[in-house]
Amino acid sequence: MGKPTGFMEYERKDNAAIEPLERIKNFNEFHAPMREKDRKEQAARCMNCGVPFCQSGMMIGGMASGCPLNNLVPEWNDLIYRGNYEKALQMLRQTNNFPEFTSRVCPALCEAACTCGLHDTPVTCKANENYIVEYGYRHGLMEANPPKVRTGKKIAIVGSGPSGLAAADQLNKRGHSVTVYERNDHIGGLLMYGIPNMKLEKWVIDRKQKVMEKEGIRFVVNANVGKDIKASDLLQQYDSVILCCGASNPRDIKAPGREADGIYFAVDFLTRSTKNVLTGEKKNWVNTKGKNVVVIGGGDTGNDCVGTAVRQGAKSVVQIEMMPKLPDQRAQNNPWPEWPRVCKTDYGQEEAIAVYGQDPRIYQATVKEFIADKNGKLKKVKLVKLEPKKDPKTGRMNMTEIAGSEFEIPADYVLIAAGFLGTQDYIAKAFGVKLNARTNVETEPGSYKTNVDKVYTAGDMHRGQSLVVWGINEGRHVAKEVDKALMGYTNLE
């Protein structure tokens, strides 16, 4: 513990953010790094607890508490304070293959479980992590380090999201020859096209891809396995195949008028927006400039849609949330170190407030009907208010419609950000893998092996829609299982 009184001497300070009305002028990341002196002080706030919940990755009350990667947070906070950044980077990379990603997009489960947060504000673990990894790149510590010996084993990974990339990185370090197949034109999966540029600039992905290629990993893009490439060919050519194709089926809104022109899934809207930002491509681009936009869904993806529409110059943006507004402070039945179920005003909502003068969220409401004009073009959305009611049979609280509470709002575009239901059917059929009731690929508990010989799975395709950090966790674990099956033992962590 570098400074025993640090948590009493220094207040939490976050990286400064560009003001909303200024940052919406572009799609760039908008947080500025601190000076070295200030970052050391933030690291000094870490108490090096006897029981560091920040790195526990436990499920408490049905929610994750602490880092699923078990990052050695207290250790590298202490090393930052002491100025030993090279050692801090070594410790960070022991558990996390991609801190350049997680330090930008992770909701920071570590901070939510920080002991400082019990009575004060938590340590800036996420920003500290970012400082470490970017120091590494600036000082040549993130250069390629290919394995000195190859095992002769060949592995195909289908999907280049967080789980696929983590599995590839681990197995390549072991000396296996790894080929990653990606159906899009860039690697990264949701990192590339599911997360907008202002949260994760895409040069960050390109930078890491170049390092991984120099280390011997082969990437094949525009390769849609199960359609353009036969599953049987991969099973013949490779010793193992790992499916990391994500949970790609967006949940739809089945309301009258759904066929109206102007309704899009969030993932399609964000993908087209990112392509436009990167290349200026206008093919199938959804430009919301001067339009009334309604976003259905209150999660991170919904917020990303809000921020994107604001940057495009939308006339108005409304975000529909089915559930009641969460409390501003922890409730008594949500104690630390559980994940805090509190109301969060994220960057996109901050920007909407700055531009339109009010919070874009409408709580306890859902779509009753999509209303189009005579040409089939969306013009309005009819909403209905909801209230929580207990089901007398199950005891569960359900959101039910309030009779006579319908109201209409203008809508030129609706963006559906209601989550994902599971893996896409065609890839499962191509390999013959079984799906469970949630349409995720089925495996034995604690295993990543499917019912098909040589075929494994990981990430959202295995566990359902989740966080980037959980994807990396699964990628590391499936790599360990595959390595042991191929070699008879494993030394991967």
Query: Are both 172 and 299 inside the same structural domain?
Result: no
Inside any domain, residue 449: yes
Distance (Å, rounded) from C-alpha 280 to C-alpha 365?
Answer: 36
Same domain? 295 vs 357 = yes
Distances from the Cα of 371 to the Cαs of 190, 263, 309, 413, in angstroms? 31, 11, 21, 11
Same domain, 333 and 361: yes
What CATH number does the domain containing 20 carry?
1.10.1060.10
Burial of 204 (0-12, 13-18, 19+ CB in 10 A): buried
Domain that holds residue 37: 6-138
Q: Is 262 left (phi over 0), alpha (psi -120 to 50) or beta?
A: left
Please give the torsion angle defined by the CA atoms of residues 401, 403, 404 and 407, in that order, rounded to the nearest 10 degrees. 0
Identify whether 179 is part of a domain: yes
241: three-class secondary structure by DSSP = strand
Q: Are residues 396 and 320 in the same domain?
A: yes
What are the residues facing 240 on neighbouring strands?
Answer: 155
Same domain for 429 and 411: no
Q: Is residue 257 part of a domain?
A: no
Is 222 found in the same domain as 121? no
Rounded to whole angstroms, how far apart are CA atoms 26 and 31? 13
Taking phi over 0 as left and psi of -120 to 50 as alpha, with beta for the rest, 66 belongs to: left
Domain-located, residue 441: yes
Q: How many domains does the chain have?
A: 3
**CATH code for the domain of 480:** 3.50.50.60
Domain assignment present for residue 400? The answer is yes
Give the per-residue pLDDT at 104. Answer: 97
Give the pLDDT of residue 163: 98
Task: Please tell me the distance from the alpha carbon of residue 285 to that of residue 271, in angstroms, as a whole number.
Answer: 9
- Pair (278, 380) in one structural domain: yes
Specify whether the CB–CB gap between 174 and 151 falls below 8 A.
Answer: yes
Is the residue at 436 inside a domain? Answer: yes
In a domain, 480, yes or no: yes
269 and 188 share a domain? no
What are the start-end ranges of the E strands in 346-485?
361-362, 365-372, 378-390, 397-401, 407-410, 413-416, 455-457
Phi-psi region of 216 (alpha: psi -120 to 50; beta: other; left: phi over 0): left
Kindly give the parts of the chain with pLDDT less than 50: none
pLDDT of the residue at 1: 66
Residues 172 and 41 in one domain: no
Q: Tokens for 134?
A: 């970017």
Task: Using the 3D structure, point to which of 416, 439, 462 is the last residue of a domain.
Answer: 416
416, 439, 466: which is the final residue of a domain?
416
Looking at the fold, whether 267 and 384 belong to one and the same domain comes out as: yes
Q: Which of 106, 138, 170 is the last residue of a domain?
A: 138
281-296 tens-digit pLDDT: 888 899 999 999 999 9
Decide if 1 is inside a domain.
Answer: no
In this structure, are 286 and 341 located in the same domain? Answer: yes
Answer yes or no: do 216 and 329 share one domain: no
Nearest to 255 by CA among 369, 364, 365: 369
